[in-house]
Structure 1
Amino acid sequence: MLRRLYDWTMSLAARKSAEVWLAFIAFVESSVFVVPADVLYLPMALARPERAYRYALVATIFSVLGGIAGWFLGHYAYEALAKPVLEFYGKLDAFEQMRGSTSADMILLLLITSGLAHLPPMKIVTILSGAANVNIWLFIVSAVITRGARFFFLAWLLRRYGEPIRHFIEKRLGLIAAAAAAVLILLYAILHYYSS
């Protein structure tokens, strides 16, 4: 099923309506969809490098809007809507455990790592943020910064290095993003240690 979704998403990059699909995928990826917007964004930006930053802006805006929808889903409709979505993806038990034991600071850190590296998946963190009553404005600012940093960094790489960087990104993006997330976690731990 995941492979079919991936192939379908890749096929959207060749359509005239690709930008609309990018907005749609970026929106639903942040609250309910499995495939990240990157799989559509990358081929679109490579096909039209002069629009890489425009596509990054579209992906950022709609990813943040989707994140806000996920926050509202977790905050106002957890039992009725969010719980069945998490159950469908087999993430309900892990979510419930995180929900019961995670502080607001940790959720903010998860939002940063998720926004930059999809660790954990964005939809989990957006719903968790709403269910745990994380301040909506702090959530929005964090989502704008992290999602924007991800998409605009990809745009910069693609504009500067073109096709060769695509293969590098596709093979190592998870590793690069995980390393960046690890550095952020380490910085947070150091700051938290010295502030207490």
Structure 2
Amino acid sequence: MFHRLYHRMLALSASPYATLWLFIIAAAEACIFPVPVDLMLIPMVLARRDRAWPLAAICTAGSVLGAVAGWGIGAFLLEVVAMPIVHLYHAETTLAALQARFVHYGVLIVLVKGLTPIPFKIVTIAAGAAHFALLPFLAACVVTRGARFFLVAGLLRMFGAPIQDFIERRLTLVLLGVLFLVIAGILALKYF
């Protein structure tokens, strides 16, 4: 199923409506869709490296809109809509743990998890289920999702096709490096 979905997304990235699909899939990925939008972003940027920044912005906007939808699902439709998604990922304990941690670490959770390949939809749903304040959630989503998509697009723009293989095989490592920089920046602001 996922193999077929992957090839479908690659085909969509070459369609005349690719940017619209990029936005839609970025939004859906943040609240319900199981496949990362990077699978569309990467071939689109490689095809038109001059459009790397607008494509990253489209991904960011779609992802933030989807994150707000995920927050709403968690806040208002937890049992009806969210729990089937959570069960799909076998993330019941993760959701419960995130809900409890949002009280003290809400923004940090969004910043950290938004950069990693952990399904972001679990974070958005947990934020809503915990009734975490929407504005700080929204701001953290813009920062973390923007960092993720602009990093991928920037590397592709700068290095082209050779970086594609590296990103696809070592995306977690690249994102952990960015995560380290974000945490270091937060700690520097807090203690210096």
Q: TM-score, normalised by structure 1?
A: 0.87
Give the counterpart of 2:144 among 143, 146, 159. 146
Where does 1:109-188 land on structure 2 (aligned, <5 Å)? 109-118=108-117, 120-182=118-180, 184=182
Residue by residue, what CA displacement relative to the aligned partner does 1:137-192 show, whole Å, maximum 9, x if unpaired? 00111111111111122222222111111122112111121233355557768988
The one-letter amino acid paired with 1:155 is A
For 1:52, the equivalent position in structure 2 comes to 52
For 2:87, the equivalent position in structure 1 comes to 87
Distance 1:108 1:74 in 2: 16
Distance 1:143 1:109 in 2: 10
Specify whether residues 189 and 50 from structure 1 end up closer, same or farther in structure 2 by C-alpha distance, changes over 3 A only.
closer
Which ranges of structure 2 fall in alignment gaps of 5 or more residues?
A: none
Contact conserved, 1:45 with 1:55, CA < 8 A, in 2? yes
Contact conserved, 1:107 with 1:125, CA < 8 A, in 2? no
The one-letter amino acid paired with 2:12 is L
Distance 1:85 1:117 in 2: 19
Partner secondary structure for residue 85 of structure 2: helix
Partner secondary structure for residue 102 of structure 1: helix
Specify whether residues 182 and 160 from structure 1 end up closer, same or farther in structure 2 by C-alpha distance, changes over 3 A only.
closer
Specify whether residues 191 and 160 from structure 1 end up closer, same or farther in structure 2 by C-alpha distance, changes over 3 A only.
closer
1:67 aligns with 2:52: no
Distance 2:184 2:58 in 1: 31
Q: TM-score, normalised by structure 2?
A: 0.89
CA RMSD after TM alignment: 2.2
The one-letter amino acid paired with 2:82 is A
The one-letter amino acid paired with 1:117 is T
Specify whether residues 54 and 188 from structure 1 end up closer, same or farther in structure 2 by C-alpha distance, changes over 3 A only.
closer
For 1:108, the equivalent position in structure 2 comes to 107
Distance 2:170 2:76 in 1: 37
Instruction: Give the number of aligned pairs.
Output: 192
Partner secondary structure for residue 115 of structure 2: helix
Contact conserved, 2:41 with 2:153, CA < 8 A, in 1? no
Residue by residue, what CA displacement relative to the aligned partner does 1:45-99 show, whole Å, maximum 9, x if unpaired? 1001111111111111010000000001111111221112212332224322432
Partner secondary structure for residue 116 of structure 1: coil
